[in-house]
Amino acid sequence: MKTHSKLIIAAVLMFVSCALTVRVFAQATAIPAARQITPEELVQVLKSAKNKPLLFQVGSHVLYAQAHIPGSEYVGPGSTEAGLQQLRKRVEGLPRTKFIVLYCGCCPWTHCPNVKPAYDVLNSLGFTNFKVLYMADNFGANWVDKGYPTARGE
């Protein structure tokens, strides 16, 4: 009976662990296509003389220091409450129509734990003109390796 109970507990723990993993991994894929912008599209927007967006990196600080989009601001990881609080504070006084682009690039889109929580914050605050940079693989492969403008350091 003892062994049977341990097996049931182990099975339940594995199920919960898998469910939480799927929830985190599925988050970025839940962002509507209309709210996504590709690297190619963002490069064109940044080249235009008008309506440049505020760019917020919502991934890890280490990745931001290694390489980021010039002019972007690091606001903390979207997967933490502290990072989300920094994002809320940064956008606090902005018009809800301000053009904003969120990005991370820590890992493949299907595994990113940062962009969907940051997306949810802007959405819940009533922002209507924001996009999330879709990077299928990661920032290195989908931005840096393509020769798009990149800054390093703080």
Mean residue pLDDT of the chain comes to 87
- pTM for the predicted model, two decimal places: 0.82
Q: Is the pLDDT of residue 12 over 50?
A: no
pLDDT for residue 3: 54
pLDDT for residue 154: 78
Q: Per the structure block, which two tokens stand in for 80?
A: 């933490």
Give percent above pLDDT 90 in the chain: 79
One of 3.40.250.10, 3.20.20.80, 3.30.70.120, 3.40.50.720 is the CATH number of 2-146, namely: 3.40.250.10
Q: Is the pLDDT of residue 11 over 50?
A: no
Q: Is the pLDDT of residue 31 over 70?
A: yes
pLDDT for residue 14: 41
Q: Using one digit for the tens of pLDDT, what is the confidence trace for 55-101?
A: 999 999 999 999 999 999 999 999 999 999 999 999 999 999 999 99
Distance, in Å, from the CA atom of 138 to the CA atom of 52, rounded to the nearest integer, reads: 23
Q: Is the pLDDT of residue 107 over 50?
A: yes
**Interval 105-111 mean pLDDT:** 94
